[in-house]
Structure formats: structure tokens, C-alpha cells
Amino acid sequence: MKILLIGGGGREHALAWKIVQSQRVSQLWVAPGNGGIVGEFTSRGEPVECVDIGAEDLPALIAFALEHKPDLTVVGPDNPLSMGVVDLFKEHDLPIWGPNQMAAQFESSKVFSQDFMARHNIPTARSGTFDFPTAAKSFAAELDGKCAIKADGLALGKGVLLSKTIDEAESAIDLMMVEQQFGEAGNSIVIQEFLEGVEVSLHILTDGRSYVLFPTSQDHKRAFDGDEGLNTGGMGTYSPAPFLNEAELESIKRSVVEPWLQGCEAEGIDFCGILYPGLMLTDDGPKVLEFNARWGDPETQAYLMRLETDLVDLFEACVDRRLAEMDVKWKEEAAVCVVMASGGYPGSYQKGKLIEGISDAESVDTVKVFHAGTILKDGELVTNGGRVLGVTALGDTIEKACTEAYGAVDKIRFDGAHVRRDIAAKALVK
């Protein structure tokens, strides 16, 4: 079976690594891939091929697919989904896994998501959606300025501003709606009350009819230890996150997942893919902060180390609408992923730094180093992005996985490498 995977970050390296473990895969192309994906092989010994096509270059992607006829295409990032890559491939009868453009709105429009949650009584923060700054400001005043102010559209993960006072809230509203800091993404906004609590990531695989709720995971969004510094794409994850027991997860299925799926059915939204809600565990129970319509990055790196089931079988079952037949199995072990980033990230940073020590780090068989921003230049592996590597380890406990992951991190070197030293620390508090 021939597969095309769209994307080139750490998530896609993890997806590629797991896809080629399937005995059924004879060929994997990744567009555009990265310096680590290019070193993977199928179980039949065929090298994974990185194709020089950007994940958002829909005309080139469809031309490639029409020529090479992949049996399945898998989409990693949010942008091609929101641009309608799934609709485009389906128009050409090419099998593809991921939500269509309408369904991808759960991520591409925060206003759409927030209104959907209101229509279907899904627990979320007290909130409002606004097209004009005056109404937005009076709602922010009702919340005493303690708000999360969110640009409607995709804004590279930067479109959420948190405020503690009415002044801060008004400046944030002006920044989005008047000064248009995020361009058109800020023409409409969502304002939520500021929620306190522990944040966890959920992943739900669905074919639009039935669903599978994954174990929990937790991301670390801020750049520095102790959740200080700017928001990033994610500096590390682990799974499982020990903040929800089985009974609480069952209750989340009933309060969040099932109303969401029934809501989709009632509104004619055909969601085939991963729904990834960001959840805040508050004193008043779990509340949805946002929905993403794809795998989390770096949640995927931790999840796929734990997944036992053949991922290609799962993707196919979704596309064929027979997910209900599948039994999804997870390893008992915990996984921890520590991101090594370029110095300066999420602000400006340099590229092209030589990376050394990865094979030494991977000499332990419970460790896998997933590449995100890397590239091979003249045979040497160098940095090529903000998040460079996701050093991931399995262990009998979170503590052991953590020790393994940091042991591996300490064997890898590149100039200016930045690592958070407290990934999974919240899970280890006794």
C-alpha cells in the first residue's frame, strides 16, 4: 500500500515512524518532510521519500497524487485542512484521512466552535462572540477584565491574549479588532472568562459515526520552566496525564464528546479525523477552551510511542466508516516527549546549527528522537526551525520515562539549544 503524508514537523515524523511500522505499507511519501523523516524506512526496507512540496501547496499536492496514486493520503497540519485539501482530494476520488473544510472549522474559526458549543450545551467558559469592539469591551467589563480574548481565525497559535484588568482587555480587543495585529483573523473575536485550573489535552479519533477517546496527555505551552514566558507551539508532553480517572473520562464522553458528535450529525458536519479539545479542569468541572481538528504537536509524539494498534488500519477504518469495528490498544507504559528548541524561540532564532549526538541518544531502545525543524545539508544534520527535536521515551512510570527522555536530551548538542527541564513535573508532585 502506498501512502502520502502531508506535513513536515515533529508530529509528522511521529506519524511517519508509526505508519511505516505497518507491514502493509510498501511506500511512504512525505510532503515536505524533514531531516529525520528522510532517514526512516518501511518494514520492507524501502526508504521514506520526502517530496519537495509545501503542505499548503494544494495544486502541487493534487498533481503529485494524481500522478502517483497513493492508496491513502494523511493530513497532519491545520492549514491544508482549513484550505480544503480533503475536499479537493475527494473530488478526484483519492482516499484521504482528515476533516473536510466545513468540519475543519472547529479549529479554523473560534467563533464557529464557541457558537457550536453553546448550541449543543458543551461545557465551556462563559463567553461571547463579537464583530464590533464596543460590544466586546462591555462584555470584557462584565468579566472584570479577567478574560481570554481570541482572534477567530488561524493565527499561528498566537491569536489568544489573556487579560487580568479592564485596561488590558480593552488594549487586547483594540489590538485585534482596530489595529488588526492578526489581520483578518481578528475581524471577529471570542471572549471567554479567564478559567483557573489544570489544562489537559484530549484526542478523539472519529469516522463521524463512532469514536475512540485516547488516553489523556498534557502539553507545556509556555517557553520556560514553571509555565513562564511566551506561548509556544508546545515545549513537551507526556501521556497519560494523571488528573482524570476512568469515571471522569466516562463523564467527559457524555458531557463533551457525545453532544459534539450528535451536534455534528444534526448539523450535517461530516468529521472524519482527530478532534483535539483543550480542556481546563476547573472547580466547576472540565470545560472546553478550544477545539483543534488534527493531532496535537507534540502530543502525537507521546501518543504514538504508546499506541499498539496498527495506525494505518485505524486511518483506513475511519475513511471506510468502520471505526466501530476497531479495538484500539495502548501500551501500559508512560511516554514523555521533551522538545529541544532553537535559542530565542518563539521569538527570532538562528538556523543552520550543526546537530550532534542523536544516534547516541537513540542507542537506548525505549528512546526515539522525532525531528521537527531539521534539514540535511551537504550530508550534515542542521537546525531549520524553532522546535528542532522531540526527544521521546517510554517508561514503566512517568518518572522513569522522564529520566530516560532527559538522559537522551543530555546526549544531544546544538548551539543555543533550549529545553524546559520541568516536562511532566506536574504529574510527579506527590
Report which of 65, 69, 107 is spatially closest to residue 88, judged by C-alpha positions.
65
SS3 90: helix
Among 278, 343, 357, 416, binds ligand AMP (CB under 6 A): 278
Closer residue to ligand AMP (CB): 150 or 353: 150
- Cα angle 328-333-337, degrees, rounded to a multiple of 5: 100
192 binds, among ligand GLY, ligand AMP, none (CB under 5 to 8 A by kind): ligand AMP
User: Is residue 325 helix, strand or coil?
Assistant: helix
The Cα–Cα gap between 272 and 299 comes to 19
Taking CB under 6 A as the rule, does residue 303 contact ligand AMP?
A: no
Q: Within 10 A of 60 (CB to CB), how many other CB atoms are there?
A: 14
* Total of chain residues touching ligand AMP, rule CB under 6 A: 13
194 forms part of the interface with ligand AMP (CB under 6 A): yes
Pick 82 or 292: Cβ nearer ligand GLY: 292
DSSP three-state, residue 295: coil
Q: Is 123 in the site for ligand AMP (CB under 6 A)?
A: no
Binding flag, residue 136, ligand AMP (CB under 6 A): no
**Residue 194, SS3?**
coil
SS3 85: helix
Map residues 228-257 to x or -, x wherever contact with ligand GLY holds by CB under 6 A. -----xx-----------------------
Would you tell me the crossing angle of helices 110-119 and 101-108 to the nearest 10 degrees? 100
- Packing angle of the helix pair 299-306, 10-19 (nearest 10 deg): 20
Contacting residue, 78, 152, 170, 199, with ligand AMP by CB under 6 A = 199
199 binds, among ligand AMP, ligand GLY, none (CB under 5 to 8 A by kind): ligand AMP
Q: Under rule CB under 6 A, which residues in 29-48 are in contact with ligand GLY?
A: none
Beta carbon of residue 219, minimum distance to ligand GLY (angstroms, whole number)? 4
Q: Which is nearer to ligand AMP, 199 or 310 (CB)?
A: 199
Distance separating alpha carbons of residues 273 and 18, to the nearest angstrom: 17
Distances (CA, A) of 205 to 12, 209, 373, 422: 17, 11, 27, 29
By CB under 6 A, the residues from 295 to 324 that bind ligand GLY are 296-297, 299
Q: Name the amino acid, one letter, at 139.
A: F
Give whichever of 170 and 299 is closer to ligand GLY, judged by the CB atom.
299
The contact set with ligand GLY (CB under 6 A) reads 219, 233-234, 292, 296-297, 299
The contact set with ligand AMP (CB under 6 A) reads 125, 148, 150, 160, 162, 192, 194-195, 199, 221, 278, 289-290
